[in-house]
Structure 1
Amino acid sequence: MTESRPHTLFSFGTLQDEQVQTALFGRTVPTAAASLVGYTTKPLVIVDESVIATSGQDVHLTLERRFGATVEGSVLHLSDRELAAADAYEVDDYTRRRVLLASGETAWAYLDAKPLRSAARIVIAGDSIAYGRCDPQGGWAARLAAAHIAANEIEHRVFNVAIPGSTLTDVREQIPALLAPRHPDTIVIAAGINDSAQPLAMPEDHRDGLAHIADTLTSLAATAQSHNARLVVVGPAWVDEARTHDYEGLRFTQARALALREALQTWCVGNHVDYLDMWEPLRDKTELLVDGIHPTPEGHEVLHRHLNALSS
């Protein structure tokens, strides 16, 4: 029989209440004071009657990013069964993600289910599509930046450090030096199709990017966590294979792009990391792609609207 693993969960709300713990877990659980830096709280109206009945409250708290702020709370020590019960208790507005406590330890916490809705300072890294190539307005990333900054010009920032041609391996190597001066609370990694590309002239030492996606994402997640930032992975957009041909010594196919998409989704689900799927908005809309790969300005607008619906 597999033994239950211990879990630490940071709570800033009703899970600290002994009556709620008893109702959910059948006991009061070991608890210690803790704090979470870089966050503040705001009220969230609850409509789930079962949650209201358990907590006795129809307004709970949710976390929002704010540079320099601190939320006081408690760390709960839970078993597998108890963590599953906590997951079932939280409404769909929340999702469980890893956070870095003021003590330097990591713990689970329930964050806003839409990863950019609670963000303040966002760094975007990726390839030419995230960079905004083929769009004088800067692509979906520039549209995201404009909307995000307009919502709170004083506290919101967006830094696009995408470089055309980059793979996830390139991003992993480039991004650590770029983070400290920008103080990000959210890091958006736009995993474009460069990781799925196959060189036309295959060198003997060719390292297939698809085979190393999990290791690369694990490294990026560790980098994000070290900066107390939430990692958000944006998947590849649809590829019109009939128009890509051979591009700068590389070949792009739908099969490889879909394999990249599946690998990203699988890793994100298994590691409780946000994944935003960008495949469907441009599917079969070849007129929204300049060359079968890069979106037109209209294509970037479609991607931005889709991303906004998923994340904010």
Structure 2
Amino acid sequence: MTESQPHLLFSFGTLLDRQVQTALFGRTVATTPAALAGYATRPLAITDEAVIATSGQDVHLTLERRLGSTVEGAVLRLTDEELAAADAYEVADYARRQVLLTSGETAWAYLDANPLRSAARIVIVGDSIAYGRCDPQGGWTGHLAAAHIAANETQNRVFNLAVPGSTLADVSAQTPALLPPRHPDTLIVAAGINDSAVPLAAPGDGHDGLAHLTGHLDSLAATARRHNARLVVVGPVWLDETRTGDYEGLRFTTDRALALRTALRAWCADHHIDFLDLWEPLRDQPHLLVDGLHPDAAGHKELHRHLDALG
């Protein structure tokens, strides 16, 4: 039996405390100095009594994105059981995600559980719904951009690079060249509904866009990781199958959209990637869809309200 490789965990707070380590892991853990660029810390109030009892502190630190800043810390090498203990220790305000250290190593770190709350420079790639078709105000992404930039005009940026008609194959192929000049810390991928469509001309030709999602998502995850950007995958919007009909030679169905939603959610869970579910806000509200597929202006506002409430 081969032993599993240790998990590298970047810490900048209480997990570096020897008493906390002993309480969680039954031992003190050797650490290696490390740094994480593009981040800064801010205080986070803790209310969980068990966590406060372990750390002796009711205020911990959390990370937020800030271009040009660096957080100094250390890397812990943990077993499977110890990583699970660290997960249990961290409160719901944190989520374990992969980061790229200044050394070039990839490690786990506990980030803000809300990826949009901690973001500064956001790139959005996707299809016509992410583009904001049918809404002169730019759709839910336009509302997101307005609110995000208004919160900090000096540092916050949103670049909506969505292209109507895009599939995940298109997005995964085009995105690597788009990121370098924009210095993103967060990459939002809002595509996939076109992968779920069934061509009416040859519905039985054996090609199924849903069957290739994993490879495209893996590619996008690798692209985001190279830029130390946090990947956020957005699920499909509810659709009114009774009105989609023949849409430019394609057929969109509820079953296929739900299959897409399930596949995206499962991949994100398996890879510790953030998944934002947009299905429920418009469910059973056909009046918020222009053609059964694209939200109207009111529908996009509802989607943005849903995302804003997550924070």
CA contact (8 A) 1:130 1:139 kept: yes
TM-score for the superposition, normalised by structure 1:
0.97
Q: Deviations over 1:85-130 (max 9, x none)?
A: 0000000000000000000110000000001100000000100000
Query: How many angstroms apart in 2 are the aligned matches of 1:137 and 1:241?
Result: 26
CA contact (8 A) 2:166 2:191 kept: no
- What is the letter of the counterpart of residue 181 of structure 2? P
- Report percent identity of matched pairs: 74
Instruction: State whether structure 2 residue 247 is matched by structure 1 residue 247.
Output: yes
Query: How many angstroms apart in 2 are the aligned matches of 1:138 and 1:68?
Result: 30
Runs of 5+ unmatched residues, structure 1: none
Query: How many angstroms apart in 1 are the aligned matches of 2:214 and 2:92?
Result: 27
- What is the letter of the counterpart of residue 105 of structure 1? E
CA contact (8 A) 1:24 1:82 kept: yes
- Give the match for residue 33 of structure 1: 33
- Give the match for residue 171 of structure 2: 171
Query: How many angstroms apart in 2 are the aligned matches of 1:240 and 1:3?
Result: 51
The 3-state SS of whatever aligns with 1:162 is coil
TM-score for the superposition, normalised by structure 2:
0.98
Q: CA RMSD in A?
A: 1.3
Offset of 1:206 from its aligned partner?
A: 6.2
- What is the letter of the counterpart of residue 264 of structure 2? L
The 3-state SS of whatever aligns with 2:57 is coil
Query: How many angstroms apart in 2 are the aligned matches of 1:4 and 1:49?
Result: 33
The 3-state SS of whatever aligns with 1:181 is helix
- What is the letter of the counterpart of residue 196 of structure 1? S
The 3-state SS of whatever aligns with 1:246 is coil
- Give the match for residue 190 of structure 2: 190
- What is the letter of the counterpart of residue 287 of structure 1? H
Q: Deviations over 1:219-241 (max 9, x none)?
A: 10000000010000000000100
- Give the match for residue 150 of structure 2: 150
CA contact (8 A) 1:41 1:63 kept: yes
The 3-state SS of whatever aligns with 1:37 is strand
Query: How many angstroms apart in 1 are the aligned matches of 2:82 and 2:141?
Result: 39
Instruction: State whether structure 2 residue 272 is matched by structure 1 residue 272.
Output: yes
Offset of 1:5 from its aligned partner?
A: 3.7
CA contact (8 A) 1:265 1:275 kept: yes
- What is the letter of the counterpart of residue 304 of structure 1? H
- Give the match for residue 259 of structure 1: 259
Query: How many angstroms apart in 1 are the aligned matches of 2:176 and 2:292?
Result: 32
Query: How many angstroms apart in 2 are the aligned matches of 1:169 and 1:309?
Result: 31
The 3-state SS of whatever aligns with 2:70 is strand
Q: Deviations over 1:201-223 (max 9, x none)?
A: 12897642100111111110000
Query: How many angstroms apart in 1 are the aligned matches of 2:282 and 2:2?
Result: 45
- What is the letter of the counterpart of residue 70 of structure 2? T
The 3-state SS of whatever aligns with 2:179 is helix
- Give the match for residue 208 of structure 1: 208
- Give the match for residue 23 of structure 2: 23
- Give the match for residue 225 of structure 1: 225
- What is the letter of the counterpart of residue 259 of structure 1? A
Query: How many angstroms apart in 2 are the aligned matches of 1:20 and 1:251?
Result: 56
Residue range with higher mean Cα deviation, 235-244 or 3-12: 3-12
Query: How many angstroms apart in 2 are the aligned matches of 1:2 and 1:135?
Result: 56
Q: Deviations over 1:123-170 (max 9, x none)?
A: 001000000000011100000000000000000000000000001110
- What is the letter of the counterpart of residue 176 of structure 2? P
Query: How many angstroms apart in 1 are the aligned matches of 2:307 and 2:2?
Result: 40
- What is the letter of the counterpart of residue 270 of structure 2? G
- Give the match for residue 46 of structure 1: 46
Query: How many angstroms apart in 2 are the aligned matches of 1:82 and 1:131?
Result: 43
Offset of 1:30 from its aligned partner?
A: 2.0
Q: How many residues align?
A: 311
Q: Deviations over 1:223-281 (max 9, x none)?
A: 00000100000000001000000100101000000000000000000000000000011
Query: How many angstroms apart in 1 are the aligned matches of 2:277 and 2:2?
Result: 34
The 3-state SS of whatever aligns with 1:177 is helix
What does 1:66-145 correspond to in 2, within 5 Å? 66-145=66-145
Judging changes above 3 Å, is the alpha-carbon distance between structure 1 residues 195 and 162 closer, same or farther for their aligned structure 2 residues?
same
Offset of 1:4 from its aligned partner?
A: 4.1
CA contact (8 A) 1:129 1:192 kept: no
